[in-house]
């Protein structure tokens, strides 16, 4: 079983892979998502049930130990006290700085987490809520027009991946976002945006932790959506250092009855 963690560095090629393949998402999303597993039939509990709890501090809890939530892999996340807009601002600052040769991204993230301007849970909770995507202008082209909400959410995904260098629960948070089913009655542009986010997350998971990416992918239990996201797994494995032929073989093995786990 493999478990890769890459260093924090700019990944323009991976993003190009995501955007290029999301063209396939745009063309095929409506067909694939039509067969998406309904939220009510998902084997997992809805991860958004307490999505906003961490952003609200009550007086009764002021002197108590912060409650924790447990991820699907049993890793405890402290309840966030970081205001959503502050955490989002830190993610945007990281996204802008990471392509600067003089920017120490890892140090920036460590300081942001230490001084309370960034947390895994704050970013995760924002990504679990798609209210801002539902508010997109009808008919907007999310790839070419790059609305602010889409750009900022992609920055939060990139930031969570980078945070995994020091906090492995960041990858669990991304996996939790991928687990949330896509609602059937969403507008086309919202489905495209959500599918694009899942694509980027699976690139990141496959690049960082193949075991987690593989299990998250298999847990989708949605053949059409899984087919749509296969190139993301391949791209992430290639980024992790595998040859493309090996990456294709590993991903293809996930669907093979004699190699169900793609090890």
CB contact at 8 A, 226 and 186: no
CA distances from 229 to 89, 108, 200 (A): 29, 31, 9
Element (H, E) at 251: helix 244-253
Q: Tell me which H or E stretch contains 129.
A: none
Specify the 3-state DSSP secondary structure of 69: strand
What average pLDDT does the segment 128-142 reach?
Answer: 95
* C-beta neighbour count of 43 within 10 angstroms: 8
Question: pLDDT averaged over the chain?
Answer: 77
Give the Cα-Cα-Cα angle 106, 111, 115 (nearest 5 degrees): 155
Report pLDDT for 257.
57
Residue 182 has pLDDT above 70, yes or no: yes
pLDDT of residue 51: 30
**In residues, how long is the chain?**
263
CA-to-CA distance for 206 and 228, rounded, in angstroms?
15
Task: Give residue 81's pLDDT.
Answer: 73
Q: What is the mean pLDDT of residues 106-120?
A: 94
- Mean pLDDT score, 163-167: 94
Digit-coded pLDDT (tens) for 229-243: 999 999 999 999 999
Measured between alpha carbons, how far is 62 from 79 in angstroms, rounded to an integer? 13
């Amino acid at each position: 079983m493999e478990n890769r963690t890459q260093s924090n560095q700019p990944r323009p090629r991976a993003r190009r892979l995501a955007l290029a393949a999301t063209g396939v998402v745009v063309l095929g999303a409506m067909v694939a998502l039509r067969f998406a597993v309904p939220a009510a039939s998902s084997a997992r509990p809805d991860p958004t049930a307490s999505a906003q709890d961490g952003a609200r501090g009550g007086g009764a809890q002021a002197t108590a130990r912060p409650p924790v939530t447990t991820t699907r892999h049993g890793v405890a996340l402290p309840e966030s006290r970081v205001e959503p807009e502050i955490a989002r601002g830190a993610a945007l600052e990281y996204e802008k700085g990471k392509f600067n040769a003089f920017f120490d991204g890892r140090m920036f993230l460590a300081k942001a987490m230490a001084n309370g301007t960034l947390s895994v849970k704050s970013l995760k909770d924002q990504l679990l809520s798609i209210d801002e995507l539902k508010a997109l202008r009808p008919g907007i082209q999310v790839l070419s027009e790059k609305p602010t909400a889409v750009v900022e959410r992609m920055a939060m995904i990139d930031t969570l991946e980078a945070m995994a260098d020091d906090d492995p629960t960041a990858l669990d948070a991304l996996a939790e976002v991928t687990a949330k089913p896509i609602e059937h009655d969403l507008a086309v542009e919202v489905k495209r945006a959500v599918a694009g986010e899942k694509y980027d997350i699976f690139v990141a998971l496959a690049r960082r932790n193949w075991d987690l990416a593989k299990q998250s992918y298999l847990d989708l239990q949605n053949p059409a959506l899984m087919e749509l996201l296969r190139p993301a797994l391949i791209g992430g494995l290639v980024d992790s250092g595998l040859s493309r032929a090996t990456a294709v073989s590993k991903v293809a093995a996930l669907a093979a009855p004699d190699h169900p786990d793609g090890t």
